[in-house]
A and B are shown apart, each in its own frame.
Chain A
Amino acid sequence: AQSVTQLGSHVSVSEGALVLLRCNYSSSVPPYLFWYVQYPNQGLQLLLKYTSAATLVKGINGFEAEFKKSETSFHLTKPSAHMSDAAEYFCAVSSMFSGGYNKLIFGAGTRLAVHP
């Protein structure tokens, strides 16, 4: 069965510093992997997704993630944090129900704080 583990429920960085949010997955089949961002009291927005094409995936707002099969990881990075990046970030893996239906399995989330 597929699962997702996000290391670190809270991450704090200085404005301008590197952002690194960690995600490890388990999947018995080649996975589809996603990063979503959630701002307070809002739904989730897709940042980027990996669907078995290039292993380095570029997303919106300067974020990118690298799929590393050998490490079963899909860490999210941004070279320089901005105050507006403060939010909660969720890693997710696409899973197949019996009957061929898909669902996303989400990690527990990482709350990113950016301080001046």
Chain B
Amino acid sequence: DGGITQSPKYLFRKEGQNVTLSCEQNLNHDAMYWYRQDPGQGLRLIYYSQIVNDFQKGDIAEGYSVSREKKESFPLTVTSAQKNPTAFYLCCSRGNNEKLFFGSGTQLSVL
């Protein structure tokens, strides 16, 4: 089945550690996005990529980094510079007519 796969489902980060969240899609979509979800705040855009080898900062990019070396993959690294990383992270890709296809998310917590 086509879709977005995020892994792991749960992730724990130690202080000062970088961690990477995986996002893979087999929908052949060009555009991919990372959102952060905090209770009561909706979804906020971290980074987006319109095409392979290109990505742009979203509204809350500080403390995060991404790469887009393959069309299928858009990993997100939460660096030690992100002082409040505990959140639910959602990856999605954009299909026709602006429809977004979401993965099932990664819950990141700090030890």
Contacts and interface: CB of A to CB of B under 8 A. Distances in A.
Interface residues of B, number: 28
Contacts of A17: none
A56 interface: no
A44 B100 contact: yes
Contacts of A102: 31, 94, 98
B90 A44 contact: yes
A44 B102 contact: yes
Given A41-B105, A42-B104, A42-B105, A108 B56 contact: no
Given A42-B105, A46-B99, A49-B97, A97 B42 contact: no
Nearest to A43: B102
Interface residues of A, number: 23
Contacts, number: 59
B41 A108 contact: yes
B48 A106 contact: no
Given A43-B4, A101-B48, A103-B48, A49 B98 contact: yes
Contact of B42 (A34, A43, A101, A107): A107
Interface of A: 9, 32, 34, 36, 41-46, 49, 51, 90, 94, 97, 101-104, 106-109
19 contacts: A32-B98, A34-B98, A41-B9, A41-B104, A42-B104, A42-B105, A43-B90, A44-B90, A49-B98, A49-B99, A51-B98, A94-B98, A97-B56, A101-B31, A101-B56, A102-B98, A104-B98, A106-B43, A108-B41
Interface of B: 4, 6, 9, 31, 33, 35, 40-45, 48, 50, 56, 58, 90, 92, 94, 97-100, 102-105, 107
